[in-house]
Chain A
């Protein structure tokens, strides 16, 4: 919700488990309307999140650190590319041949190929909804 000065604040609640997303958003928007009648602020954005915690968990097997990001670039039929950064990609998967050795991940690595193939063949799309057609390249980027 946003006030006259442009400052924003959240209104949070919990939902009945397994509520379908469309029904959830409909009721949340309705609640936002009811809230705007008793508030001087205006609702600008609503969202519903569904969380999964994976149990039981195994310890990290090691080999990658979270600061090393693998930036996977995918192309679509339009000129827009989709980028999916993956934290902690192992440096052992970097290519050791070619102009960008040690910067670009080896596309023929089994794990790199399996992940990129799953993204291309799965439900995943670009941020604006454009279908993902093919895997282009993956390179290393360090983040803070």
Chain B
């Protein structure tokens, strides 16, 4: 993997007009800009947008992205619909889920459970749960342990169907 940051981040405003329709406005900022500075600049635009449009600005989001400039080839037979579902316990007693698309057969047990003793699975769990990890539940509660981990299939969408599936004349 060789990830490189995009040259810019994206700021998207969500607007609501008097009919209830939503609209978006998108601007770009240098990728090195801190989140605090982006929010300060965005706050300055909010009243200006509301004056221009008569819409209410519901909020905005700032995104920072990075892409792999030299991606490896996916494994033969990999399918994103074949997921590894990890359910984590949170400090507030609720749970949080994370899906890994294309889970490898080599990390699965016979009954479809994920082998948490597998060294690569253990490394993944450590990256999520460890004290230095920044990952949290959606309500910012600490992730404390894994509750369950198993294989889970999602329906194939129309776009994911094989392109040559009508080759038999049916």
Contacts and interface: CB of A to CB of B under 8 A. Distances in A.
| A, B co-complexed | yes
A51 B67 CA distance: 21
B18 A40 contact: no
A32 B124 CA distance: 9
A65 B78 CA distance: 45
B24 interface: yes
A1 B102 contact: yes
Interface in A4-28: 4-5, 7-21, 23-25, 27
Contacts of A30: 127
B167 interface: no
Contacts of B64: 21, 24-25, 47-49
Given A4-B76, A115-B49, A29 B54 contact: no
B155 interface: no
Nearest to A37: B120
Given A13-B135, A32-B1, A89 B52 contact: yes
A99 interface: no
B112 interface: no
B19 to A, nearest CB: 6
Contacts of B162: 5
Contact of A9 (B34, B101, B121): B101
B45 interface: yes
B101 A1 contact: yes
B140 A17 contact: yes
Interface of A: 1-5, 7-21, 23-25, 27, 29-54, 57-67, 69-70, 82, 84-90, 93, 111-112, 114-115, 118-119, 122-129
Interface of B: 1, 3, 5, 7-9, 15-19, 21-31, 33-35, 37-39, 41-42, 44-46, 48-68, 71-81, 83-84, 96, 98-104, 107, 118, 120-121, 123-124, 127-128, 133-138, 140, 154, 159-160, 162
10 contacts: A8-B80, A14-B138, A16-B135, A16-B140, A31-B128, A34-B127, A42-B72, A60-B54, A63-B54, A87-B55
